[in-house]
Amino acid sequence: MNGALAGLVILVLGDSHMAGREYLIGPLHDALEAAGASVHTYGMCGAIADVWIYQTTVACGTAERHDNSPPIANYSGKPVPTWSINDLLKKHHPNIVIAEMGDAMAGYEAKEMVKPWVYNQVHQLAGVIAASGATCAWVGPPWGDEKTKSAARVREVSDFLAQNVAPCVYIDSTKFSQPGQWPTTDGQHLTLSGYKIWGTDIANAIVQLKAQNRLH
């Protein structure tokens, strides 16, 4: 994988899976860097697609990381302003944007996923990214603990995203493991070993998509 992404600038956006120091912001960022890319990663706890478009706040923490610097995390417990996708696109001029989002929009505690609500914000964020000239890969959620996020709902949201993130290409995280294979700390967030595997799998998928000329 060394050099496969050389010369590319990659902007990574994520939800809580990207917002912890020992979450995806470590292994995914490292793997993309190892492949030769310049990487800028931003994670916001509880982030749905809308919060990258409309300025608001998140209350449970954010993290960012740039190239080979360590993550900078904000877990003050106070509301923190969200990052704007337009500002980040103008600042970093990425070739590729990776959007890791799905869990916060799936409605695991609700009887039904609100598909029009999910579609509208996903479609809008993907459109903003495409309008910048960057290509985009959307990463769906992994399996979790059945009591917290049922496999049926994970499959439902993953299938829905796969059909609706265009012009982004979809990376189906459920294909990387079997339900329950990756242990969690709280039913949703993975252990350190799980994040290492998931991060490597995502980076490998990005390299494969680049080789297939589906990302540039």
The candidate with the shortest Cα–Cα distance to 135, out of 171, 175, 172, is 171
DSSP string, 96-129: EEEEE--GGGS-TTSSS--HHHHHHHHHHHHHHH
Residue 97's region, left for phi above 0, alpha for psi from -120 to 50, else beta, is: beta
pTM, entire model: 0.97
Q: What is the mean pLDDT of the chain?
A: 96
Distance between CA atoms of residues 3 and 162, nearest Å: 28
What is the dihedral angle through the alpha carbons of 104, 26, 80, 134, rounded to the nearest 10 degrees? -70
Q: Which CATH architecture has domain 9-210?
A: 3-Layer(aba) Sandwich (3.40)
pLDDT tens digit sequence for 114-140: 999 999 999 999 999 999 999 999 999
CB 63 within 8 A of CB 19: yes
- Coil, helix or strand at residue 154: helix
Would you say 39 and 14 are in contact if contact means Cβ atoms under 8 Å apart? no
Helix residue ranges per DSSP H, 65-191:
85-92, 115-131, 151-164
Q: Is the peptide bond before 167 cis (omega within 30 degrees of 0)?
A: yes
Radius of gyration of the chain (CA): 16
* 133-160 mean pLDDT: 97
pLDDT digits (tens, 9 = 90+) for 42-99: 999 999 999 999 989 998 899 999 999 999 999 888 899 999 999 999 999 999 999 9
HSE on the CB side for 35, CA within 13 Å?
Answer: 24
182-213 confidence digits (pLDDT tens): 999 999 999 999 999 999 999 999 999 999 99
Distance CA 56, CA 53 (A): 9
Measuring CA to CA, which residue among 104, 78, 87 is closest to residue 40?
87
